[in-house]
Structure 1
């Protein structure tokens, strides 16, 4: 162990499990906050700042959201590989913040489509680091019997970011103007930066390089013969496991559905019900608040009965809520017209979807962490001395990125070529 006399000030609480998990939760909050922050503003940005024709807004909205997914899918495996090779997880987290700040400034400046999309690409890279390294840090910090509950708490922060991002921009853009609105992401980033710099991984100071602990030395010596084959066969081993494939498929589906809302909801409710950006922001609040409240409970349930049955039931109810979302404003359902009950029915369907969503999301982190732990029990060191957790979560990030890409493209295409009802009913199947 490192000499306590040479430890940094506040080492005990700065390296505690609670502080590390809390820092990662704030990092996840900041990432989802920034992802959704621009959604209510996109119409204004494309039409007022970039002077694009209003008919192009839906296409550009889908594209700016989908590019985040493309970037995550491409950068995920690379980030996961190098994160597992990195001597600590703090360094990539801090570096990602620099990239995120630059990307956010470029998006706010938004002098051209090129600058806007370049800024979104940088945000996507930074966000991918947070999801991979942040969730890997959480999984490595807690015991297996509490990972469901802990991930549930983390998902509450994710939902909080999902809520507050669109809500803050939607309200402030209407009340305070464009540049005042962008002051909020800066505050979020400053808090995130401070926490990541303060955090200390125990491996930063607990291990003396010249005289490593006996237990660690023994483990590394024992694992050395396995490392070359394990590193080479990580992806092949994991992708041959049916539990991994099913969990990743669930991840793609749930993220696709969620990202479809971001791509289509603002323009649909503005066109159908005449709602402004403030009410659009509230709809995202209704969508995400239940997840904020129920995610820890869902994690607790999963720790005790598993993920299979809650997930199956959740998908049945998700299908019902998506069908209901396609009804308001459709001429074939006069009882839910735009001028009578339509707004109330649409809002009720959004709330219903938000309640059910926590039971279907967050499956992949639990299942894949469980799978990789089982492999390690059978063959210690099979995925290298750091356990391969960063690569595990890069797989999850690739699945999520696929959802972020597919969701906006499919939903946007269906809305433009057919109508919103067809889009909602197609997704319900």
Structure 2
């Protein structure tokens, strides 16, 4: 399946002329990313409020992430079937109502269930906000718009802990969920008034949701996510059983999709080398970026001896740089083309990972900040270029599901980074009780983790270069989006 031209059965969508349409999509991405990070800081308060152990309270975070991971492709496909604006509006309403339920939850099980519903809404926001970019900006501005979406995601990630901390010190943990309700309501009205409406449905058998495919894909993603998150990175019989169940469910999903008249995912789409490479590299990059969030709180506090307040301040450097570099990265994509910026971004990330493995032990805080100052801009360059390369050539009737696959690869990378890279760090430290490890052992774990991270990004860069050479005649890889 080629994504270089629109489907002959798909009407050309109207394009919005209002800049507020792009604002509505950006705020949708902000809400979804804010939901990922804002709850973490409240876990101790929630545990105290419900008198619950940590392994139970952590499901307030995991339920949200798992719901996004499981539902994001289906959310995108629903947008392709029912109309992108219609489903985005429904997702905003669900996200807002679920946030209200989170803030009003009288028990921990209800809070966890509400967070899962909020995650379903967030899956819609993530998938459809990217899918609608081409309907809100002219082709020569797509890279800049993708950069803006990356910026909003970074703002949400950076704002969550600080905003959550302020709300905890004031109204309490309920407020961290209730704060997004008015913003969700306002953005719903903004979407209804500014996003162009059109019927994205295809007049054939594909205008149905693949029930069995959805079920098996959800089962595969759910078992994988559980396999790498439960057990704190240890490989036990339950993890092995979940991995086997995941493999079996993937096999069933492939079999069902091959026979389905209206498949959830066109498996032939994965024969597109550019698309497959974009998804794989996106997974690799997300895995490594999550490793920085998992490893460096331990390194800065245990190896360098910094207090919690200073650790939190230093850890905001990366997200702040991502915010600053987001839109300029997209502008560079528009001016120079996706391939050049993608290679530059991945190369900068290789240097950044290598610097993280070596410089903090030699230069302390300055070494960490210098390395992050290379890694974070590289990440934004890659994100803007890769998102543009994947989404620009996709026809309207497939934008939702392809956007869902793009976000899915990122979320799977985040989950894998937290679990697998965390396990590598523990292995490098030499003991599971990291808090009691010697500073030199923590430094060794950091070296080991980012040596592996360097190899992962270097492999992604090599894959991108090979893909570029094999697809040297394709516009999305070679030339600016003019």
TM-score class, shorter-chain normalisation, is: 0.7 to 0.9
CA separation in 2, counterparts of 1:258 and 1:109? 33
> How far apart are the structure 1 equivalents of 2:130 and 2:332?
20
Tell me if the contact between 1:254 and 1:403 (Cα under 8 Å) persists in the aligned partners. yes
Gap runs ≥5 in structure 1: 1-14, 208-215, 337-341, 374-385
> How far apart in 2 are the matches of 1:427 and 1:108?
41
Is contact 1:77-1:394 (8 Å) kept? yes
Tell me how far 1:404 sits from its aligned partner. Answer: 2.0
Q: Would the alpha carbon gap of residues 233 and 69 (structure 1) be closer, same or farther in structure 2, given more than 3 Å must change?
A: closer
Instruction: Report the alpha carbon displacement of residue 185 of structure 1 after superposing the two structures with TM.
Output: 4.8
Asked if residue 124 in structure 1 is aligned to residue 114 in structure 2, the reply is no
Mapping for residues 205-284 of structure 1, pairs under 5 Å: 224=203, 232=263, 235-284=266-315
Q: Deviations for 1:104-145, whole angstroms, at most 9, x for unmatched residues?
A: 754896965x56654543333222111111111222222222
Which of 442, 447, 454 is matched with 1:428 structurally? 454
Once residues 45 and 425 of structure 2 are traced to their aligned partners in structure 1, the CA distance between those partners, rounded to angstroms, is: 20
C-alpha deviation, 1:394, in angstroms:
1.2
Matched, 1:416 2:426: yes
CA RMSD in angstroms, aligned pairs only:
3.7
Equivalence for 1:389 = 399
Structure 1 residues 137-146 or 229-238, which shifts more? Answer: 229-238
Q: Alignment partner of 1:148: what SS?
A: helix
Aligned mates of 1:368, 1:23 — CA distance in 2: 22
Is residue 134 of structure 1 aligned with residue 129 of structure 2? yes
Counterpart in 1 of 2:458?
Answer: none
Deviations 1:241-293 (A, max 9, x none): 00000111121122222223333333443333444554343234211122222
Is 2:377 the partner of 1:355?
Answer: yes
CA distance in structure 2 between the aligned counterparts of 1:144 and 1:238, rounded to whole angstroms: 23
The answer on whether the counterparts of 1:68 and 1:405 sit within 8 Å (CA) in structure 2 is no
Q: Distance in 2 between matches of 1:104 and 1:343?
A: 40
SS of structure 2 residue aligned to 1:418:
helix
2:188 counterpart residue number: 196
The within-5 A match list for 1:6-405 is 17-42=18-43, 52=53, 68-87=64-83, 89-99=85-95, 101-102=97-98, 106=102, 112=108, 117-170=112-165, 176=169, 179-180=171-172, 183=175, 185-200=177-192, 224=203, 232=263, 235-327=266-358, 333=361, 335-336=362-363, 342-373=364-395, 386-405=396-415
TM-superposed CA distance for 1:22, in Å, is: 0.5
Q: Distance in 2 between matches of 1:39 and 1:425?
A: 28
Q: Structure 1 pair 284/121, CA: closer, same or farther in 2 (3 Å)?
A: farther
SS at match of 2:394: helix
Q: Secondary structure at the match of 2:266?
A: helix
Indicate conservation of the 8 Å contact 1:40/1:277, yes or no. no
Contact preservation (8 Å) 1:33, 1:165: yes
- The whole-number CA distance in structure 2 between the counterparts of 1:257 and 1:110 is 37
Q: CA 1:350 to 1:122, structure 2 compared with 1: closer, same or farther past 3 Å?
A: farther
- Name the CA distance, whole Å, in 2 between partners of 1:91 and 1:80: 9
Distance in 1, Cα, partners of 2:33 & 2:128: 15
CA distance in 2, matches of 1:185, 1:233: 32
After superposition, the Cα gap between the structure-2 partners of 1:71 and 1:364, relative to the gap in structure 1 and judged at 3 Å, is farther
Structure with more contact order per residue of length (Cα contacts < 8 Å, sep ≥ 6): 1
> Deviation per CA, 1:350-384, whole angstroms, max 9, x where unpaired?
333223221122344312223324xxxxxxxxxxx
The count of residues paired between Structure 1 and Structure 2 equals: 372
> TM-score, normalised on structure 2?
0.66
- Are the aligned partners of 1:28 and 1:154 in contact in 2 as well (CA < 8 Å)? yes
